[in-house]
Structure 1
Amino acid sequence: MNEKSKFIAEKNSERLDKLLTELFKDNFDFSRSMIQKLIEQNLVTVNGEIAASQKMAIIVGDIIEVTIPEAKKTEITAEKIEFEIIYEDADILVINKPNDLVVHPGAGNRSGTLVNGLLDAIEDLSSIGGVERPGIVHRLDKQTTGLLIVAKNDKSHRVMSEMIANHEVYKEYIALVWGNIEPSKGIIDAPIGRHPNDRKKMVVTSKHSKSAKTNFEVIENFEYSNTALIKCNIETGRTHQIRVHFNFIKHPIVGDPTYGRINDKDTKFGQFLHASKLIFNHPITKERMEFEAPIPDEFNDKIKELRGK
């Protein structure tokens, strides 16, 4: 059932959306963009008339009524899915995602995802991500293992999303790449966009792209197999960013079925890429949070193989 909220303006305001954002921040914590969507959907009236624009001026005494639509219920089925919860409180979860697990349902893929497992294990998840992505603040690829933040309510989700957008969440990865890398430190600063001929792939391009920056450091070069163990952190969060960037500099991720070498296409484990560390301030308490997840056993075994020991 839709919920209605009624306000009488106690001060003048140059913009309706700005005033409503202030009025709603305590009870609903709606972002300005969410308020703007309600106005666009004709769910806001001023003095009994549908609000003409999010930019309309408000004067003292104006009566504003907002209809808040009922949140859509997910049609995704809860399932028992194996994953490790590293941390949990009333606002967030930190998950250690296993290999070969898709984060959320998509076209033709309605089950067997992390979201299916979250719906079974967690009572409350944020709704900002929509009915198919409850709680999902950011993603990892299917065959990327490691740390993932999940929001349990809309306020924590909104704040975490803003923190990620403002580069306030430190995300560090461990990866195996083809080829020895010299020098031992570097920055890959190259824009990423959709591949012009394959919409499932991303590519470094100047056309219809977004800036992307990856910092990396070589942990060890393996001369035996002409590979390297690296750690990197991303200043931006573009789709497939690390995989695309290292392919761009001719050091693709070992085992990458999409951007790797031809003989990597059929490997069972997939790319050897692990989200190993997260550092951020808690979205509600502002406490500094730091988490680390060890690389999977298969990853360790592959390091020994490539090291030649």
Structure 2
Amino acid sequence: MTDSAESLAILPATTEPYQIVYEDDVLLVVNKPAKLLTVPGRHPENQDCLITRVQREFISAQVVHRLDYDTSGLVLLPLTKRVLSDISKQFQARSVQKHYVAVVDGRLAQAKGVVDLPIGADTENRPLYKVCHITGKPSVTRYHRLNFASETLQSRVQLEPVTGRSHQLRVHMLALGHAILGDTLYATPDIAAKSPRLMLHAEYIRFTHPLTGDVLSFTTPAPF
């Protein structure tokens, strides 16, 4: 899930600061607030972003993966080229484990399952993406319903992206018929209006430290 497509528009940056979750000499793990790009956008007014803020204090910080502008949560930032290369290889090998928490509209029919639907660019509605069995790339998401609120008809769901396509979690939840609350790109206006922000948070990440070989894991609870 990247914010590259969203960077085409003017996206005002939140004043909420990022939080350092872990720090050593070669890498950082930070908690990105919602409504902040991970990297500078193409529009001149989208220069305020997570990496520019982090580099004010950690000048060598690099981006190895991204979260959408609207998504909050954990981001891993290498501080050296060696660690950047190693972490990149871990992502490519899909050995980095991540899961997200989302609040979606309605009750999922199954408590847990797998969405295996290819995703490609929606060329007629850029910068959106869609399920496409012709040009889409293989995309897999595991989901687990955590609870269902009968009074609001909303489900809290844990999402594990096995692949990392742009807007994958949004598109896959929409394909199930359960759009994420606050999603102004994919949800219907009434569902988008149910939250002032996208109810999607990168809650957990697990990876191997490139220098020590230790397996590190971090969790930041969703702010919703």
2:203 alignment partner, SS class: strand
Q: Distance in 1 between matches of 2:39 and 2:196?
A: 20
2:89 alignment partner, SS class: helix
1:99 alignment partner, SS class: coil
Which of the residues 95, 104, 119 maps onto 2:55? 119
Partner letter of residue 18 of structure 2? F
Partner letter of residue 111 of structure 1? Q
2:217 alignment partner, SS class: strand
Which of the residues 90, 106, 109 maps onto 1:179? 106
Q: Can you list the C-alpha shifts for 1:26-50, whole angstroms capped at 9, x where unaligned?
A: xxxxxxxxxxxxxxxxxxxxxxxxx
Q: Distance in 1 between matches of 2:16 and 2:184?
A: 24
Which of the residues 38, 49, 54 maps onto 1:103? 38
Partner letter of residue 217 of structure 1? H
Q: 1:153 to 1:269 in 2, by over 3 A?
A: farther
How much does 1:105 deviate? Answer: 0.6
Identity over aligned residues, as a percent? 30
Alignment check: 8 A CA contact 2:99 2:203 kept: yes
1:94 aligns with 2:29: yes
1:165 aligns with 2:92: yes
1:250 aligns with 2:152: no
Alignment gaps of 5+ in structure 2: 1-14
How much does 1:263 deviate? Answer: 2.0
Larger radius of gyration: 1
Q: Can you list the C-alpha shifts for 1:229-268, whole angstroms capped at 9, x where unaligned?
A: 0111111111111011000111010110101121244577
Partner letter of residue 82 of structure 1? P
State the match for 1:235 in structure 2.
Answer: 162
Q: Can you list the C-alpha shifts for 1:83-112, whole angstroms capped at 9, x where unaligned?
A: 101011122110101111111112114422
1:157 alignment partner, SS class: helix
Which of the residues 173, 176, 199 maps onto 1:272? 199
State the match for 1:205 in structure 2.
Answer: 132
Q: 1:153 to 1:81 in 2, by over 3 A?
A: farther
Alignment check: 8 A CA contact 1:143 1:269 kept: no
Q: Distance in 2 between matches of 1:98 and 1:184?
A: 29
Q: Distance in 2 between matches of 1:114 and 1:98?
A: 9
Alignment check: 8 A CA contact 1:192 1:212 kept: yes
Q: 1:113 to 1:157 in 2, by over 3 A?
A: same
Q: Which has the higher contact order (CA 8 A, sep 6+)?
A: 2
Q: How many residues align?
A: 209
Q: Distance in 2 between matches of 1:236 and 1:243?
A: 13
Alignment check: 8 A CA contact 2:102 2:157 kept: yes
How much does 1:279 deviate? Answer: 0.9
Q: Distance in 1 between matches of 2:208 and 2:170?
A: 27
Q: 1:215 to 1:104 in 2, by over 3 A?
A: same
How much does 1:207 deviate? Answer: 2.6
Partner letter of residue 118 of structure 2? P
State the match for 1:307 in structure 2.
Answer: none
Q: Distance in 1 between matches of 2:119 and 2:57?
A: 36
Scaled by the length of structure 2, the TM-score of the pair is 0.88
Q: 1:122 to 1:269 in 2, by over 3 A?
A: farther
2:101 alignment partner, SS class: strand
1:104 alignment partner, SS class: coil
Alignment check: 8 A CA contact 1:202 1:244 kept: yes
Alignment check: 8 A CA contact 2:16 2:33 kept: no
